[in-house]
Chains A and B, each alone.
Chain A
Amino acid sequence: MSELKLYTVSIYTENNIGLLNRISAIFQRRHINIESINSSVSEIDHVSKWTIVVKLSEEQMKKIIGQIEKQVEVIKAYYHTEEETIYQESCMFKLRSNLLFDERQIQNIIKESNANIVTVNREFFVIVKSGRKEELELLHRELSVFGIMQFTRSGRIAVTKDEMKISKMLEAFQH
């Protein structure tokens, strides 16, 4: 019952200042670390979507969803297991350009990882890679041997395999 699992939380909200504080405070108050957090527009006009990844027991997760939904500006919150979602993260690497010539295997690593080259100039080049966290970590391990000038990784974004009934809910409000 108290087995910890990785859950993806999807929250549809109004786009208002201060909501980040209000949502993150729910986790902070319970001493829960957020693995990743992302906020963006959603499939519905003027509705924001948050994607939060946390490691919790399902019992804890349910209670937290209740607390999130209780917030006035939250329209709906869902939680999903890994199996119920399609999810991706992105990362960017900035590397020295001479590596492309001095370390031939770098080109193979980039090709095999399906990463894209964003820009190249005399000093550095930048590649971007999207995928699951493990793929991103593998690429990071492979490239770190050569020295990485800068690295950054985004939070998870996810869509669910099943339909989210949020649009219908909002339609009901309009009538």
Chain B
Amino acid sequence: MKDTQTLDKVQKTTPSKIRISGSEAVIRCLIAEGVDILYGYPGGAIMPVYDELYKFRDQIHHVLTRHEQGATHAAQGYARISGKVGVAMATSGPGATNLITGIADAQIDSTPMVCITGQVASHLLGSDAFQETDIIGISTPVTKWNHQITKASQIPEVIAKAFYIAKSGRPGPVLIDITKDAQFEELDFSYEKCKGVRSYKPVPKTDIDDVKAAALLINSAKKPFIVWGQGVILSEAENELKAVIEKAGIPSAWTILGASAIPTAHPLNVGMVGMHGNYAPNVLTNDCDVLIAIGMRFDDRVTGNLSTYAKQAKVIHFDIDPAEIDKNVKTDVAVLGDAKESLSQLLPLLKANSHTDWHQKFKDLYAIEYDKVIKHDLYPTKEGLTMGEVLKEINIQTKGNAAIVSDVGQHQMIACRYAEFTTTKSNITSGGLGTMGFALPAAIGAKMSAPERDVVAIIGDGGYQMTIQELGTIFQQKVPVKIVVLNNEFLGMVRQWQQLFFEKRYASTEMTNPDFVAIAKGYYIDAQKVTKREDLKNAVAEMMACEGPYFLEVRVEKEGNVFPMIPTGASVSDIRLE
């Protein structure tokens, strides 16, 4: 605990101070935290801060989104591709409430984000003033931490704490609400980064005895199986994980948010677990003798019916969050701590192994899945275009180097199943919350954060129309994202469930869509529509070659289904191939 200081101590050691306004202090704090880009939308209660943003515009780039929700998803995309804290800003009242969906998304997907909202002047709090809303109360259940500032002097300490809390331990969103009078008020400013909060212990210490117990189980296992999640990416433990997998020869699968931590082509990468994951890792979850979960939280979409999930296996759970241990699945060995640290400790204790027979089982089941599903998705022989063949074409033309930003629904499952990744932090999607409308703004943030990378947004026709206004942001900021809308004129995933479980009663899932190409062109974004298989290759080539943003609509088969599928309430091993 030597490096942990109380905030009071930090304040006492501060160096020289300058007299500035609260709003200038906000900007200086952001710059001190290394923020180069933030996303937001101005309004009455945050105007003093925007006035300072104008003065500091050569040091910090504010991106005007077309809706505050877009600002949060853009901040998320920025954070997910870089590991840095994303920042979103909005005014009070509706500006603040519009942030909530993105905050909830960041909370459940552990994305580091700081949201700053303006608030009515402190003397008006509770008076039902114009654009007043209790955003602290509203955001409490969906933030890692939140705080209201009513005095300018609190700004440096609270913002430092916000960034520290958002990024450390299991990351998450933090909301800071600043009354307008605190923005105008002057303070003696100096800034020091937060190094610790006494009531908060971000990373539990890894107990070597737990690591040894885990190693003992793994070394004696005949059929060990790893499922890793986003925790590996958040702690930047990709190399450590790879070393563990390779040394112990363990077939390893990923959750949707764990995708891309290990390259798709790695021979020990056996695919995705969960509702629409791969056949082998789902079925063999109920065959392995030791299940090693790393930085994942046994979400219901991963486990299916818990009462029949991996009951035969000893379970080892590596996680940074003690509240995740035994939350859904009882563990035999829990290893707390940061994955990078705990996997480093595990590696030297592991015996080299190959588990050849066990591997063969995965290969055999993959062959079945290939024959029943994958072949038809990627190399269809029937007339309608499939979502899978679009992903295959993108894989070929980007050589697996693109970051794929997907929305929510059928196209998302297809994107996560078939996108081939060579680089970590490349699968950006709304996992836990399942937020339709996530992808378009998230792609903006991802591309601005990593301009050297190809960023391809894969979106359905439903989700696209939830945040379609962000085309305006793309146009104004000249963000060269590639937008692919897989249009089946349905809310496809809901329609699939209606087909399978509601006797094809397609209640409110069919969409009459506008001319998407015309809309993109209305924003001066190059665009085309593909309806025939023979045009797909050239269209993707044109999109990837385009220097600016590009919009590609692909008309896919209307009633295509995503398989494999674990129906709700079924066991992972009862996954359906058709």
Contacts and interface: CB of A to CB of B under 8 A. Distances in A.
Contact of B197 (A62, A63, A72): A72
A73 interface: yes
Interface string A59-76: 000110011011011110
B279 to A, nearest CB: 32
B497 interface: no
Given A63-B323, A173-B1, A72 B144 contact: yes
B292 to A, nearest CB: 21
Nearest to A173: B198
Contacts of B147: 16, 18
Nearest to B170: A70
Interface string B345-386: 000000000000000000000000000000000000000000
Interface in A141-175: 170, 172-175
Given A18-B140, A173-B1, A66 B6 contact: no
Given A13-B199, A21-B140, A173 B323 contact: no
A69 B323 contact: yes
Contact of B2 (A21, A63, A75, A175): A175
Contacts of A175: 1-2
A67 B322 CA distance: 9
B322 A66 contact: yes
Interface residues of A, number: 24
B300 interface: no
Contact of A62 (B165, B198, B200, B326): B326
Contacts of B19: none
B307 interface: no
A73 B145 CA distance: 8
The secondary structure that dominates the B interface is mixed
A70 B321 contact: yes
A175 B2 CA distance: 6
A25 B140 contact: yes
Interface string B323-334: 101110000000
A69 B1 contact: no
A55 to B, nearest CB: 21
A73 B198 CA distance: 8
Given A18-B136, A170-B198, A175-B1, A72 B145 contact: yes
Contacts of A21: 136-137, 140
A75 B198 CA distance: 8
B20 to A, nearest CB: 26
28 contacts: A13-B199, A14-B198, A14-B199, A16-B147, A18-B136, A18-B137, A18-B146, A18-B147, A21-B137, A22-B140, A22-B141, A25-B140, A29-B141, A63-B326, A66-B323, A66-B325, A69-B322, A70-B322, A72-B144, A72-B165, A72-B199, A72-B200, A73-B199, A74-B199, A170-B198, A172-B1, A173-B1, A175-B1
Given A21-B136, A175-B2, 10 more contacts: A18-B137, A18-B147, A21-B140, A22-B141, A63-B323, A67-B323, A70-B321, A70-B323, A75-B198, A173-B4
The 9 A-B pairs with the shortest beta carbon distances in the complex, nearest first, are A66-B323, A173-B198, A75-B199, A72-B145, A72-B200, A25-B141, A21-B140, A70-B323, A172-B1
